[in-house]
Structure 1
Amino acid sequence: MSVPIKDNSSFKLMAQFGHQKLVFCNDSTLGLQAIIAIHDTTLGPAIGGVRMLPYQSVDEAIDDVLRLSRGMTYKAAVAGVNLGGGNAAIIGDHRTQKNEALLRRFGQFVEQLSGTFIASLDIGTTPKDMEYLHMETDHVAGLPKSLGGSGDSAPFTAKGVYYGIKASLKELYGNDSLAGRTIAVQGAGNVGEHLIAMLREENAKVYVSDIVEERMAEVANKYKAVAVSNNNIYELEVDVYSPCALGGIINKDTISKMRCHIIAGSANNQLRNEQEDGQLLLDRKILYAPDYLINAGGLISCYSEIAGYGASRTAVLTENIYEATRSVLRKSIDENVPSYQAANQMAESRIADMRKIKQ
């Protein structure tokens, strides 16, 4: 069943964020409704995850892909890779509505964009789904290793967040050791679990929450972490709060409850309102490692796949997140500006420089 368009303000949103293209993909026979956003291709073709979620309206999906694609542009820019930003959303429940025909039809829409958009993994899609897309288009990253791809990008995403946490600890405490540090991880999905494993290996005390209680209990038991309610995680007195689920969870309501010193996690678009929430964190002296800066490991993995790099090169590029995070945090502190603003300025500077070269 089609979802309603409540308010067609797409062009206003595109103008606000500087997007180049918004593509609507529809096949009523297969029940496919999908949207592809291309934000900026100055640095290279736009890469972005394909997520499948049961959005309540088309406008909600549009807002999601526009924000995520812009974030991907900035992520690629600060990570130093030659890719632009895009994102795609298939409207539907991936647990009940996803099938080969629907994914292959979406792959045909990706192919029609002639390489300006490269599809990759996101919430609700798997490496097997990328295989289905690949049957219709070569413009896919995150393919299984059996098809020459880089495989699951979650370990690289988690590794980048791990480096971001250590860089933040170094900036705040002068020491990046995790031993004895307290870290609250919100979200025990694939990335969250990989992160928890690394944190526990270095003897950090980890609290874990997840909206799926069975999953929370399973991960907590496996890594000897402490399970906590999703509603109580903001009030924990910890060194680091690490959001690794959906975005928008850092806002005026949750910030008022927070007793952490650092925020560093893998979730995209963590700040519900970038300007207001970023300033609130600065005022409360909570060190915020911008999400797109430290969760770039997955993007780097996909870039390595596209560029033909091996695992060792991917590891080196991911490790660079440590110094990039420290640079952003130092800029934020030295100039007394929110850290998201410091990161944005660095990304925009690289994009502007590349535009000059192309003129």
Structure 2
Amino acid sequence: MSQSSLHVTEEPAAESIFGRSDGPTGSYERVIHAHDRASGLKAIVAIHSTLLGPALGGTRFYPYANEAAALADVLRLSRGMTFKAAAAGLEVGGGKAVILGDPDAIKTPKLLEAYGRLVESLGGMFITGGDVGTTSEDVDVIGRTTHHVLTRTRGSGGSGDSGPLTALGVFHAMRAAALHAWGEPTLAGRRVGVEGLGKVGYHLASRLLADGAEVLASDISDKARERVRTTLPDVTIVERVLDADVEVYAPCALGGTISTSSAATIRARVVCGAANNQLATPDVGDVLAAQGITWIPDYVASGGGLIQGVVEREGGAADEAGRRVENIFETAGTILGLASQDGITPGSAAYNLVSARLRAAAATSCSRDGR
């Protein structure tokens, strides 16, 4: 990425654009906009917090309607990564990146290498991996020009696609919700609706079938639906699952599907999935609770991929990553227990736990710096 073709600017007021300072984390630490004319790269990197360690988060490649939509998404996602790391007890911070454009149309090795150089220029403050629109093979290419990547392919020395372990974490969070709702930590005999059959939803559907659940699923992609029909024929493909006659609704596509209006149509008793930022607004958690619906906060349920990345960074083996992801069952159970004990929503209970950890980290940092 030559200096002549790269144009980089930093967002001067990310806090005011997003409309909140997120309590103990303060405002966003850095928000970088980059455009490389030579490769066509347009990207935004948002570093929400490094209180717990370097910011870690995937790179989403998506055809946003405009740059404002991309900025709003990357800010929400990076904040979610901070919360995800804190909820899982990890020593990393929260960040995220988005590349603007249709990956099927504009993704090239040249563009990914240019993006890698952008990541490298941040000096390790941000470490990235795959996400929607990017694969482990793409991370291999990005890794040609930066050391700060995780979840490369196994052949390149990485831990591979994060989808399976993210799905494992969601499955164990769902088991905790089942224990809370029905008294047994299993989905056997339950009717589960999986929304989105991509790199996480597909593996979640497979695990649910193995546990004895009846699985309904939807996806806007013909290719994704056909893959499931071919390899998971026991899954019933439907048009919608959000308001279907299911006991568990698992949002695993893009976020924001649960609003005050759509929440009123949910027939499930449990909501637990991998999609980030599932609630359109925070008050939707109160709406779900008022309807007797148990919601596992997305940043708790979907922490498996982040845990995988941290274990890879620490040099741990795949089986260690799996064991640590299984601990999401205990984390989700603790949050549900605190919610019941204190008479609050699971979202509030999770936020309280995360905030306490971030406040402690901030206090330690101030003490260390002599402030």
Shorter-normalised TM range: over 0.9
Q: Is the 8 A contact 1:33 1:90 kept in 2?
A: yes
Q: Which moved more, 1:298-307 or 1:341-350?
A: 341-350
CA distance in 1, matches of 2:227, 2:64: 28
- Once the two structures are superposed, residues 27-47 of structure 1 have per-residue CA deviations (whole angstroms, 9 ceiling, x without a partner) of 123221110000000110001
What TM-score, normalized by structure 2, do the two folds share?
0.91
CA distance in 2, matches of 1:349, 1:247: 26
SS across alignment from 2:174: helix
Per the alignment, residue 94 of structure 1 pairs with 103
SS across alignment from 1:241: strand
CA distance in 2, matches of 1:148, 1:28: 31
CA distance in 2, matches of 1:54, 1:212: 15
Residue 245 (structure 1) aligned to one of 250, 253, 266:
253
* Alpha-carbon shift at residue 122 of structure 1 (Å): 0.7
What is the total number of aligned residue pairs between the two structures?
349
Q: Confirm or deny that 1:286 pairs with 2:293.
A: yes
CA distance in 1, matches of 2:38, 2:316: 40
Q: How does 1:204-219 map to 2 (within 5 A)?
A: 204-219=213-228
- Once the two structures are superposed, residues 328-353 of structure 1 have per-residue CA deviations (whole angstroms, 9 ceiling, x without a partner) of 11112222222122111111111212
CA distance in 2, matches of 1:142, 1:214: 24
Q: Confirm or deny that 1:176 pairs with 2:176.
A: no
Residue 341 (structure 1) aligned to one of 340, 344, 348:
348
- The amino acid across from 1:229 in the alignment is E
SS across alignment from 1:33: strand
Gaps of 5+ in 1: 1-7
SS across alignment from 1:121: coil
CA distance in 2, matches of 1:28, 1:222: 42
Per the alignment, residue 239 of structure 2 pairs with 229
Residue 263 (structure 1) aligned to one of 250, 261, 271:
271
Per the alignment, residue 198 of structure 1 pairs with 207
Residue 357 (structure 2) aligned to one of 319, 338, 350:
350
* Structure 2 CA distance for partners of 1:214 and 1:120, relative to 1, 3 Å: closer
SS across alignment from 1:234: coil
CA distance in 1, matches of 2:229, 2:302: 22
Q: How does 1:97-112 map to 2 (within 5 A)?
A: 97-112=106-121
* Alpha-carbon shift at residue 183 of structure 1 (Å): 0.5
CA RMSD of aligned residues (A): 1.5
Residue 16 (structure 1) aligned to one of 3, 15, 20:
20
* Alpha-carbon shift at residue 357 of structure 1 (Å): 2.6
- Once the two structures are superposed, residues 68-103 of structure 1 have per-residue CA deviations (whole angstroms, 9 ceiling, x without a partner) of 000000000111111000000111110010101111
What TM-score, normalized by structure 1, do the two folds share?
0.94
- The amino acid across from 2:238 in the alignment is V
CA distance in 2, matches of 1:248, 1:123: 15
* Alpha-carbon shift at residue 315 of structure 1 (Å): 1.5
- The amino acid across from 2:326 in the alignment is E
SS across alignment from 2:111: helix
SS across alignment from 1:207: strand
* Alpha-carbon shift at residue 355 of structure 1 (Å): 2.4
Q: Confirm or deny that 1:325 pairs with 2:332.
A: yes
Residue 145 (structure 2) aligned to one of 136, 139, 146:
136
Task: Provide runs of 4+ in structure 1 moved above 4 Å.
Answer: none
* Alpha-carbon shift at residue 312 of structure 1 (Å): 2.2
CA distance in 2, matches of 1:93, 1:214: 16
Same amino acid, percent of matched pairs: 37
CA distance in 1, matches of 2:80, 2:57: 10
CA distance in 1, matches of 2:54, 2:242: 38
* Alpha-carbon shift at residue 15 of structure 1 (Å): 6.6
